[in-house]
Amino acid sequence: MRRAALHNLGCKVNAYETEAMGQLLRKAGYEIVPFEEEADVYVVNTCTVTSVADKKSRQMLHRAKKRNPRGVVVAAGCYVQVAADALAEDPAVDLVVGNHEKSELVRILEDFMEERECVPAQENICQSENIPAQPLFPARKPALKGKLSDISAAREYEPLSIDHTESHTRAFIKIQDGCNQFCSYCIIPYARGRVRSRAPEEVAAEAETLVNAGYQEIVLTGIHISSYGIDLPPQRREDLIGLVERLDAIEGLRRLRLGSLEPRIVTEEFAQRLSKLRTVCPHFHLSLQSGCDATLKRMNRHYTTEEYENGCRILRRYFDRPAITTDVITGFPGETEEEFARTEAFIKKIGFYELHVFPYSRRAGTRAAAMPDQVEESVKHARSARLLRLDEEASLAYRKQFLGETREVLFEEKITVDGTEYLVGHTKEYLKAVIPWEEAEKGRIVRGRLEKMLNQELFVLWRLSEKQ
């Protein structure tokens, strides 16, 4: 039996696809082993969101080849789409698989194996028959092997799915691929192509499979899920809220959580329809990036701070203290101290549960990389530190509102805090809570009182009952 190892870099969409490729290999008879072990095949699902991500992708490909020089190293995903020429010259890479070919991984791999004149298992036979053994992995390959198509021409959703995940509590389902937004700092539309939505009945079928397998919570993910459905034919068209309503009707599903949303999708109708659904978690990640309109315009973001604030206001009208989280980029080209101060003030005004703060990373191939007035690294990091301090204060203030209240917690894994073992899980608002590990089981939803705070992030749950 051949052994295969997979490594994921990047976002939750990549993680989903890595899991799906692993299941394809397992069904084809491969034994899946940890990436740190010797394997016959290594698959690295690459990321290219920043130049640092490019570097990490190359490092993992070289690490795989070093671990087993005779193994087949497969580069898959986003970095492959934007750096095919560089990979053609990289002796560590044997095969490439593009972002619209991952479902074909097994066939691509098997075709490559058949083409090799002398695979490791046949080496002794070749030598005994006096057939000169050819180098299995020459230092320079004459042509890039594998399959890589023009992602900008892709119009159909690639048929990838999963029937289980490594976590037995929360499962991610990819509902769409691609992005039509073309933010000035982002390479992803060039690596992922245009929006391609998955058929709603296929999403529902995968959700039912996962629920029947015992998963309590499903998270909808994609490259730009707010665009879900815009490309579906009129007779099959269903937007994001329609898909959510379809999934909410699945018997046995306890929780449904949405991935990152564009602020402009939050209308009165959207929030009102969401609020009527039993499974929807009041946890909304609305991407911000900047709290200054001038900066947002340079970023080519398609909303204003007024529209963003209105979206938050609507969510709070229909949900009790929803957890609103966001992403912010500091030091975008041209960001002055005054512009950053506006972002800082806006963040204070909104009152987020959590901020994900990123210093701007210059990415070759994007419009922002060629913009004037690039901000010094030291300034970017100083501004990030200021926002992270705001994040600590706002997060703690949000959590404290729930002290003494009763909530349901889905327990996920064992952790150790100050020498004591606990099970840790999340409420629907994504608040973390713990319970002594012997008092609950992983994958169970327990109803209890958020009795006290173990530290700034963790509540201690006083168990009241368990939901079956």
CA-to-CA distance for 412 and 396, rounded, in angstroms? 22
Neighbour tally for 46: CB within 10 Å: 30
> Is residue 120 over pLDDT 70?
no
The pLDDT-based confidence of 331 (bands split at 50, 70, 90) is very high
Q: Are residues 52 and 191 in the same domain?
A: no
Q: What is the pLDDT of residues 429-452, one digit of tens each?
A: 999 999 998 888 888 999 999 999
DSSP assignment of 305-362 = HHHHHHHHHHHHHHSSS-EEEEEEEES-TT--HHHHHHHHHHHHHHT-SEEEEEE---
Quick one: three-class SS letters along 356-412? EEEECCCCCCCHHHHCCCCCCHHHHHHHHHHHHHHHHHHHHHHHHCCCCCEEEEEEE
Question: What's the domain range around 370?
Answer: 156-399
Q: Are residues 252 and 351 in the same domain?
A: yes
Q: In what order do the strands lie in the sheet with 170-177?
A: 196-197, 170-177, 217-222, 255-258
The phi, psi pair for 17, rounded to 5°, reads: -65, -35
Neighbour tally for 393: CB within 10 Å: 10
Element at 108 (helix H, strand E): helix 105-115
Q: Are residues 107 and 234 in the same domain?
A: no
Q: Are residues 145 and 107 in the same domain?
A: yes
Q: Are residues 423 and 448 in the same domain?
A: yes
> Is residue 133 over pLDDT 50?
no
> Is residue 202 over pLDDT 60?
yes
Counting residues of the chain whose pLDDT is more than 70, the rounded percentage is 93
Q: Are residues 366 and 221 in the same domain?
A: yes
The pLDDT-based confidence of 167 (bands split at 50, 70, 90) is low
> Is residue 128 over pLDDT 80?
no
Counting residues of the chain whose pLDDT is more than 90, the rounded percentage is 86
Q: Are residues 238 and 223 in the same domain?
A: yes
Task: Count up the domains in the chain and report the number.
Answer: 3
The pLDDT-based confidence of 256 (bands split at 50, 70, 90) is very high
Residue 335 vs residues 183, 320, 342, 372, 387: alpha-carbon distances, Å: 16, 35, 10, 11, 15
SS3 content of the chain, % helix, strand, coil (to 5): 40, 25, 40
Mean pLDDT over 328-337 rounds to 98
**C-beta separation of 56 from 105 below 8 A:** no
**C-beta separation of 21 from 6 below 8 A:** yes
**C-beta separation of 332 from 360 below 8 A:** yes
Q: Are residues 457 and 350 in the same domain?
A: no
- Can you tell me which residue has the tokens 């509102």? 401
The pLDDT-based confidence of 137 (bands split at 50, 70, 90) is very low
Element at 467 (helix H, strand E): strand 458-467
pLDDT recorded at residue 394: 96
Q: What is the pLDDT of residues 58-88, one digit of tens each?
A: 999 999 999 999 999 999 999 999 999 899 8
The pLDDT-based confidence of 466 (bands split at 50, 70, 90) is low
Q: In what order do the strands lie in the sheet with 354-359?
A: 283-285, 323-330, 354-359
pLDDT recorded at residue 440: 82
pLDDT recorded at residue 468: 47
Q: What is the pLDDT of residues 273-323, one digit of tens each?
A: 999 999 999 999 999 999 999 999 999 999 999 999 999 999 999 999 999
Q: Which of 149, 174, 205 is the last residue of a domain?
A: 149
Q: Which of 362, 379, 399 is the last residue of a domain?
A: 399
Q: Are residues 394 and 420 in the same domain?
A: no
Give Cα 198 to chain centroid, integer Å.
Answer: 17
Q: Are residues 208 and 351 in the same domain?
A: yes
Q: Which residues pair with 301 in a beta bridge?
A: none
Q: Are residues 298 and 321 in the same domain?
A: yes
The pLDDT-based confidence of 130 (bands split at 50, 70, 90) is very low
pLDDT recorded at residue 119: 45
Mean pLDDT over 327-343 rounds to 98
pLDDT recorded at residue 439: 85
Q: Are residues 355 and 273 in the same domain?
A: yes
Q: What is the pLDDT of residues 396-430, one digit of tens each?
A: 999 999 999 999 999 999 999 999 999 999 999 99
Q: What is the pLDDT of residues 15-31, one digit of tens each?
A: 999 999 999 999 999 99
> Is residue 125 over pLDDT 50?
no
pLDDT recorded at residue 467: 59
pLDDT recorded at residue 121: 44
The pLDDT-based confidence of 131 (bands split at 50, 70, 90) is very low
Report the candidate in 334, 270, 273, 348 with the shortest Cα–Cα distance to residue 305: 348
The pLDDT-based confidence of 143 (bands split at 50, 70, 90) is low
Q: Which of 399, 420, 438 is the last residue of a domain?
A: 399
The pLDDT-based confidence of 138 (bands split at 50, 70, 90) is very low
Instruction: Give the mean pLDDT of the chain.
Output: 92
Neighbour tally for 461: CB within 10 Å: 29
- Domain of 357, CATH number, reads 3.80.30.20
The pLDDT-based confidence of 126 (bands split at 50, 70, 90) is very low
